[in-house]
Chain A
Amino acid sequence: MKYSEKVMDHFTHPRNVGEIEDADGVGVVGNAKCGDIMKMYLKIDENDVIVDCKFKTFGCGAAIATSSMATELIKGHTVQEALKLTNSAVVEALDGLPPVKVHCSVLAEEAIKTALADYYKKIGRPVDFEIEKSHEGEE
């Protein structure tokens, strides 16, 4: 198994690692039993623009790299744009992932959507999108 240079770059120099104290949306997906957990923090302004985004991830190299790339892809974009981010876009941006690691990118997509759902709930907006739960039923 070999990772692309982009994956290794994001693994060794992850962008946007950390927490946001007063986040507008927080999403946690995955579980320790399966070996990966991603936590996404979003700071969103009054125009629905994601002004800041941070993550913490427990997981393999691909899990860390996909989290990092996902934050880069949504930072500075609107909530509507972030909702359109697919796992395959994350994989593409990383110049591909080994087939067994594609689930990490699914987790990154889920983490963002879960954080956005949290934001919707906080501001009283109905959650009108679905979140695929890749780890459901595995506990």
Chain B
Amino acid sequence: MAKYVYADNASTTPVSKEVIDAMMPCFETCWGNPSSLYEKGRDAKDLMDDARERIAKVFNAKANEIYFTSCGSEADNWAIKGTALKMREKGKNHIITSKIEHPAVLNSCRALEKLGFKVTYLDVDEYGVVDLDMLRCSITENTGLVAVMFANNEVGTIEPISEICDIAHAKGALVFTDAVQAVGNIDIDLSKLPVDMLSLSGHKIHAPKGIGMLFIRRGVNIANLIDGGAQERRKRAGTENVPYIVGLAKALEIAKEKLDDIPRVRKMRDRLISELTKIPYSKLNGSRENRLAGNVNISFEYIEGEGMLLWLDIAGIAASTGSACSSESLDPSHVLLAMGVPHEKAHGSLRLSISHETTDEDIDYIIETLPGIVKKLRDMSPLWEEVEKAKIKN
């Protein structure tokens, strides 16, 4: 069989066998509507309640602080827009976020700007860490929400959420963190980390696509986004997706157990970084230490990312890039640009995101395969030609 290495776990993950097994009874027998009074409904409700309890336990939170959504983007939209609508009642109209957030956060903020809210987009340093001084300078009594991601999806930078909570809470602002990438990589104890809201997504941790979650701390009141029936304690309408909720609970429990395996993942990541940055004119994007265990993001100068992805795909390796050519716009990754990476280097960025399913042999294969691809693309690049000619001259 041809070699296949999946190194795009930050995009999505395969649904694990245990998760599928956990979900099957919800399709086959307990398929009732959890709002129904009869047995089929009660069975479904029992499964859902149990899942909610188990998820709360994973985060050291309370079951009534867990709200299920259709995806991570919905949870992000709800946290930001729901908070904005509520804070306006208190006369507050300022939100602070960062320049490197996921589009679900950035575009929610932009939508609110059109409704008259003021938004500050925090700068980040060259490693992608948010500027806490800028946060301290821009936060006022008028600030109702500070929304900063737990860890970045492109470069894996882990943000100082605890300190952000201290600064925000001192001014009476709520804190929301998008933890979609952090979950499964970092142990999150919500009895210790004082965030007011936290979002996550099932499909990044081996649950199916189509299930997300928003943690809303008890006592925090945000406006509804989806109006309708009385589901989710009247906060989020729509018949609950019981199978996927049960799947999410299983996936989160497994993810928590697998945290023990994180040092091994980190070791594989470090080997990838050390070996791949030996390629001339390459540079690691983000921090060497302060990054998610599975994230590697390297720019290769004088070539463009999509070409690398196509060749890697032919070799059976799935990865991703911050190049513009992989998107609909002419601009490369907003995250890399915010970190001060020049356009031309951002176009040549490659993200490899590995997981506990990755093996040492997979890492070997990537290390063997990539240098040849970079060389092949450089050999046909007019920019590389100039570099080579300059070398001969000197």
> Which residues does A use to contact B, with CB under 8 Å?
3, 8, 11-12, 14, 17, 19, 28, 32-39, 55-64, 100-101, 138
Asked if B97 is at the interface (CB within 8 A of a chain A CB), the reply is no
Q: List 28 A-B contacts (CB under 8 A).
A: A11-B307, A12-B311, A12-B314, A19-B385, A32-B344, A32-B347, A32-B383, A34-B324, A34-B330, A35-B325, A35-B330, A35-B332, A35-B344, A37-B382, A39-B382, A56-B380, A56-B382, A57-B381, A58-B304, A58-B382, A59-B307, A59-B325, A60-B323, A60-B325, A61-B307, A61-B310, A63-B304, A101-B325
* Cα distance A21–B174 in the bound complex, in angstroms: 65
Which residues of chain B come closer than 8 Å to A59, judged between CB atoms? 304, 307, 325
Asked if B303 is at the interface (CB within 8 A of a chain A CB), the reply is yes
| Cβ B304 vs Cβ A60 within 8 A | yes
Which residues of chain B come closer than 8 Å to A101, judged between CB atoms? 325
Given contacts A58-B382, A61-B307, A63-B325, 13 further A-B contacts (CB under 8 A): A8-B310, A11-B310, A32-B343, A34-B330, A34-B343, A38-B382, A56-B385, A58-B304, A58-B383, A60-B307, A60-B323, A64-B380, A138-B330
> Which residues does B use to contact A, with CB under 8 Å?
302-307, 310-311, 314, 323-326, 328, 330, 332, 343-344, 347, 379-385
| Cβ A61 vs Cβ B382 within 8 A | no
Asked if A58 meets B323 with Cβ closer than 8 Å, knowing A19-B385, A34-B330, A138-B330, the reply is no
* Cα distance A101–B305 in the bound complex, in angstroms: 15
Q: Which of B305, B324, B325, B332 has the most CB of A within 10 A?
A: B325
| Cβ B325 vs Cβ A33 within 8 A | no
Which residues of chain A come closer than 8 Å to B383, judged between CB atoms? 32, 37, 58
Which residues of chain B come closer than 8 Å to A57, judged between CB atoms? 380-382
* Cα distance A36–B332 in the bound complex, in angstroms: 12
What distance in Å separates the Cβ of B249 from its nearest Cβ neighbour in chain A?
35
Write the chain A residue with the least CB distance to B311.
Answer: A12
What distance in Å separates the Cβ of A37 from its nearest Cβ neighbour in chain B?
6
**B381 interface neighbour in A3, A56, A100, Cβ under 8 Å:** A56
What distance in Å separates the Cβ of B182 from its nearest Cβ neighbour in chain A?
29
| Cβ B306 vs Cβ A61 within 8 A | yes
Q: Which of A60, A62, A64, A100 has the most CB of B within 10 A?
A: A60
* Cα distance A58–B173 in the bound complex, in angstroms: 47
* Cα distance A28–B381 in the bound complex, in angstroms: 12
What distance in Å separates the Cβ of A56 from its nearest Cβ neighbour in chain B?
4
| Cβ A35 vs Cβ B380 within 8 A | no
Which residues of chain B come closer than 8 Å to A39, judged between CB atoms? 382, 385
Which residues of chain B come closer than 8 Å to A38, judged between CB atoms? 382
Which residues of chain B come closer than 8 Å to A12, judged between CB atoms? 311, 314
Write the chain A residue with the least CB distance to B378.
Answer: A58
* Cα distance A56–B306 in the bound complex, in angstroms: 16
Write the chain A residue with the least CB distance to B346.
Answer: A35
* Cα distance A61–B323 in the bound complex, in angstroms: 12
Which residues of chain A come closer than 8 Å to B323, judged between CB atoms? 35, 60
| Cβ A33 vs Cβ B385 within 8 A | no
| Cβ B380 vs Cβ A100 within 8 A | no
What distance in Å separates the Cβ of A18 from its nearest Cβ neighbour in chain B?
8
Which residues of chain B come closer than 8 Å to A64, judged between CB atoms? 307, 380
Which residues of chain B come closer than 8 Å to A55, judged between CB atoms? 380
Which residues of chain A come closer than 8 Å to B381, judged between CB atoms? 37, 56-58
What distance in Å separates the Cβ of A16 from its nearest Cβ neighbour in chain B?
10
Which residues of chain A come closer than 8 Å to B330, judged between CB atoms? 34-35, 138
Q: Which of A17, A35, A56 has the most CB of B within 10 A?
A: A35
| Cβ A33 vs Cβ B344 within 8 A | yes
Which residues of chain B come closer than 8 Å to A37, judged between CB atoms? 381-383
A-B interface, 9 closest residue pairs, ranked by CB to CB distance from nearest: A60-B325, A60-B306, A32-B344, A39-B382, A56-B382, A35-B347, A33-B343, A58-B381, A61-B310
Which residues of chain B come closer than 8 Å to A8, judged between CB atoms? 310
Write the chain B residue with the least CB distance to A40.
Answer: B382
Which residues of chain A come closer than 8 Å to B382, judged between CB atoms? 28, 37-39, 56-58
Q: Which of A8, A14, A58 has the most CB of B within 10 A?
A: A58
Which residues of chain A come closer than 8 Å to B303, judged between CB atoms? 58
* Cα distance A11–B307 in the bound complex, in angstroms: 8
* Cα distance A58–B381 in the bound complex, in angstroms: 5
* Cα distance A8–B313 in the bound complex, in angstroms: 12
Write the chain A residue with the least CB distance to B328.
Answer: A100
| Cβ B306 vs Cβ A17 within 8 A | no
Write the chain B residue with the least CB distance to A33.
Answer: B343
**B380 interface neighbour in A17, A32, A34, Cβ under 8 Å:** A17
What distance in Å separates the Cβ of A100 from its nearest Cβ neighbour in chain B?
6
Which residues of chain B come closer than 8 Å to A36, judged between CB atoms? 304, 325
Write the chain A residue with the least CB distance to B323.
Answer: A35
